[in-house]
Structure 1
């Protein structure tokens, strides 16, 4: 295990600043998820850690050792890519043992380590198969075992689950977290999937324009976004822009906020599950524009009228409780102020 210290790292490509004096400390044995939209710099950061890119300035240290300009083969890392990158002519066992073989380890030591890792990733029964005989999830498990074979101080994962179908991705996501917690390797995973980031990480880094927008535990990030970008990116929140009148924001009977930023317009963010159904006397009427069954919940797209303008809301409600609500119906909704995050628009 190793700590990671990233100190004021910058990287530019022509006029584009991919990393902007970014600093981050990763604790030993911790898994950090790097989350952000395309072009935010998350992959550039991972490639700097891997030694595939040299930053223009700043420093990267593993356990106190400066590795900023070390080539990849001299860094104590294991890496798992989006593409599995397995050797097609090798069996599962041979792929996993390959990093140890090139390091000159004894055959008996290699065999013992391969057996241990195949048991860890639940592939013992498939040890003699070749990659083309495996499913996508099995191939990625093999790639993970291979990355762990030399007991790296740091494990880097570059969107390792994005090429998998939804069911396999969810199952492997849980397995990835189980394995990382068992081996306690310091790990960073790059992803654009917020559910994946929240599920596997001890802390989540939200990036935008080469900078860290927010760094927090999944629970804090989900419940207490510090910026409008974090609020919009995490939780699939509704984003509303409403005028500030006499220091407050109102949405008819649905919402009254008395303390808001000193601006003419406020940006409000509220999660779909926090849109409440209420009686007519306590809420605003909302027209049901469409509905989407999602299993445990049903998502409704609603329209509210506010001073001649239409306000759009998404609401997620328990499916069994709203089976009788149809497109074209009118429901009454309200928002609890504590569930609404407000920023200057």
Structure 2
């Protein structure tokens, strides 16, 4: 378990500000944020490379705020692996155990299962310079796990890999976590990466965590416009909401009136994810829909991105090849009432 309370750290003009976060034991948690939001500073505070100005860090119920890194029970994979170029793969993996004067037989017993689990048995006699990016990450991961840490910290573990390499390593991370169940905090700036490996996440902005919870909540029930935009919820619209007697509300905007299951009143901002919109022929009598003209179509491979003008801009993601779409043509766009989310005031 990781518990951070009121963490503060100032370096130059940037500061981590009253940062609090909890990760349950055995969880795989993704800490997201744009470049410069403080993700690496935070993870370096957790593992003891930086000492915070204030606040407390607990690992597995123990206060480690002032402990040396080697005493915290943490395995750390930095963004650029940090492998020792003068050591072979086998010696890199064994290094934290040798540094603690663990007997050779115990080192072999600890590292052999990890080498097998990560599928790097054929690399043990190689030097880091002769490894691919994905191979170096696996070696760094094995080294971080060799001492059987209570917590595993991963700083942008797939950022330097190509797309195929990212997919493979994310699959390996899922598999390893399912087997070892070590509490893991994975730092990333990529929504796709987060969805590939975890189910819970937090979003960091300007040195503080602004929302945590299941990834489904951050995707579909953001607490702010910043969260919505980070998770690529492109439809963010202002409306006037009128409560309905049967529950929910009616949203009036740009000459349209739509129903939402959530309650709202007065001037509101609502969001709906692009993949939640349904695109129909213009003469289709779709409920909770509006007329719009297709302005631009972009083929994104597995899906099409459709930009519409409905008096306000709307974006829909639809399955590629589902039907023919023509720029400049009118369509009927349905917004499911349950997919509409009103941002907190």
TM range (shorter): 0.7 to 0.9
Partner of 2:246: none
Mind listing any 5+ residue stretches in structure 2 that lack a counterpart? 244-250
Match of 1:301 among 301, 307, 310: 307
Give the Cα–Cα distance (whole angstroms) in 1 for the partners of residues 7 and 76 of structure 2. Answer: 21
| Residue 250 (1) aligns with residue 278 (2) | no
Partner of 2:207: 210
CA displacement at 1:183 relative to structure 2: 1.3
Give the Cα–Cα distance (whole angstroms) in 1 for the partners of residues 64 and 255 of structure 2. Answer: 58
Matches within 5 A, 1:249-328: 249-252=252-255, 255-256=258-259, 261-264=264-267, 266-281=268-283, 282=285, 283-304=289-310, 306=311, 311-322=312-323, 324-328=324-328
Match of 2:47 among 47, 50, 58: 50
SS across alignment from 2:343? strand
Partner of 2:234: 238
Partner of 2:178: 181
SS across alignment from 1:138? helix
Is the 1:100–1:150 Cα contact (8 Å) retained in structure 2?
yes
Specify whether residues 219 and 245 from structure 1 end up closer, same or farther in structure 2 by C-alpha distance, changes over 3 A only.
Answer: closer
Specify whether residues 302 and 112 from structure 1 end up closer, same or farther in structure 2 by C-alpha distance, changes over 3 A only.
Answer: same
RMSD: 2.4
Give the Cα–Cα distance (whole angstroms) in 1 for the partners of residues 215 and 3 of structure 2. Answer: 21
CA displacement at 1:82 relative to structure 2: 1.5
Q: How does the TM-score come out when normalised to structure 2? A: 0.88
Give the Cα–Cα distance (whole angstroms) in 2 for the partners of residues 219 and 258 of structure 1. Answer: 18
CA displacement 1:22-55 (0-9 Å, x = unmatched): 2222222222211122233322221110111111
Give the Cα–Cα distance (whole angstroms) in 1 for the partners of residues 136 and 291 of structure 2. Answer: 51
Question: Between Structure 1 and Structure 2, how many residues are aligned?
Answer: 334
CA displacement at 1:207 relative to structure 2: 2.1
Give the Cα–Cα distance (whole angstroms) in 2 for the partners of residues 156 and 257 of structure 1. Answer: 41
Matches within 5 A, 1:1-345: 3-14=1-12, 16=14, 18-234=15-231, 236-244=232-240, 248-252=251-255, 255-256=258-259, 261-264=264-267, 266-281=268-283, 282=285, 283-304=289-310, 306=311, 311-322=312-323, 324-343=324-343
CA displacement 1:169-195 (0-9 Å, x = unmatched): 012112112112211211111111112
CA displacement at 1:237 relative to structure 2: 1.0
Q: How does the TM-score come out when normalised to structure 1? A: 0.88
Is the 2:270–2:342 Cα contact (8 Å) retained in structure 1?
yes
Is the 2:28–2:186 Cα contact (8 Å) retained in structure 1?
yes
Is the 1:255–1:334 Cα contact (8 Å) retained in structure 2?
no
CA displacement 1:119-161 (0-9 Å, x = unmatched): 1111112222222222111110111001111111111111111
Give the Cα–Cα distance (whole angstroms) in 2 for the partners of residues 4 and 141 of structure 1. Answer: 24
Mind listing any 5+ residue stretches in structure 1 that lack a counterpart? none
Specify whether residues 14 and 173 from structure 1 end up closer, same or farther in structure 2 by C-alpha distance, changes over 3 A only.
Answer: same
CA displacement at 1:62 relative to structure 2: 1.6
Give the Cα–Cα distance (whole angstroms) in 1 for the partners of residues 139 and 301 of structure 2. Answer: 32
Give the Cα–Cα distance (whole angstroms) in 2 for the partners of residues 28 and 260 of structure 1. Answer: 36
| Greater shift in the superposed pair: 273-282 or 58-67 | 273-282
SS across alignment from 1:207? strand
Give the Cα–Cα distance (whole angstroms) in 2 for the partners of residues 239 and 15 of structure 1. Answer: 34
